[in-house]
Amino acid sequence: MEERLQKFLANQGICSRRKAEAYILDGKVKVNGQVVNKLGIKIDPEIDKIEFNNKQISNSINKVYILLNKPIGYVTTVKDQFNRPTVIDLLKKEHKSVVPVGRLDMYTSGALILSNDGDFVYKVTHPKHEINKTYQVTTKGKITKEEVEKLKNGVELDDGYITKPAKVKILKIDEEKNISRVQIVIHEGKNRQVRRMCEAIGKKVLALHRSKIGNIDVKDLKLGEWKYLNVVKGDVLF
Q: Where in the sequence numbering do the catalytic residues fall?
A: 105
Give the helix ranges, DSSP H, for the chain. Answer: 5-11, 17-25, 118-125, 145-153, 193-200
Long-range contacts from 75-80, C-beta under 8 angstroms, 24+ separation:
75/106, 76/100, 76/102, 76/103, 76/104, 76/105, 76/106, 76/112, 78/15
The total of other beta-carbon atoms located within 10 Å of residue 3's CB is: 12
The residues that bridge with 156 in the sheet, in sequence order, are 162
Q: What is the largest CA-CA distance in the chain?
A: 69
Give residue 189's identity as a one-letter amino acid code.
G
d(CA 171, CA 118): 37
